[in-house]
Amino acid sequence: MNLALVIGNATSTVKHRSMNGWRLLIVQPLTANGGDDGEPLLAIDSLGAPIGGQVIITSDGKEVSQVMGTKATPVRWMVMGQPDGQ
């Protein structure tokens, strides 16, 4: 699990069928003191996280597959929560 900042959303006209209906966010992983930690990532979101808000993301393949209901998906990152106060 990582803390990340939502910096935008993405739109795709062509995508893997397992991603249909999922909102795509561009998130910036954060360090413990709030600095950038690497490059921005693409994550699926079902929580409605706002741009500028912090989220908790995971790359746990088993968890992502379970939430999406399929093992055949190219999705690596998923929003799994929002910190208190977000």
Q: Residue 15 — φ and ψ, nearest 5°? A: -150, 165
- Which pLDDT score is estimated for 86? 53
Q: Taking 80 as the threshold, does the pLDDT of residue 85 lie above it?
A: no
Domain count, the chain: 1
Q: What is the CATH number of the domain that holds 71?
A: 2.40.50.220
- Asked if residue 86 belongs to a domain, the reply is no
Domain of 15 in residue numbering reads as 2-81
Q: Name the residue type at position 67.
A: V
Length reported for the chain:
86
- 15: alpha, beta or left? (left if phi > 0; alpha if psi -120 to 50): beta
SS3 at position 44 = strand
Distance CA(9)–CA(45), nearest Å, equals: 10
Q: What is the pLDDT of residues 40-71, one digit of tens each?
A: 999 999 999 999 999 999 998 888 888 888 88
Q: What is the pTM of this model?
A: 0.87
- Asked if residue 67 belongs to a domain, the reply is yes
Tokens of 67: 């939430």
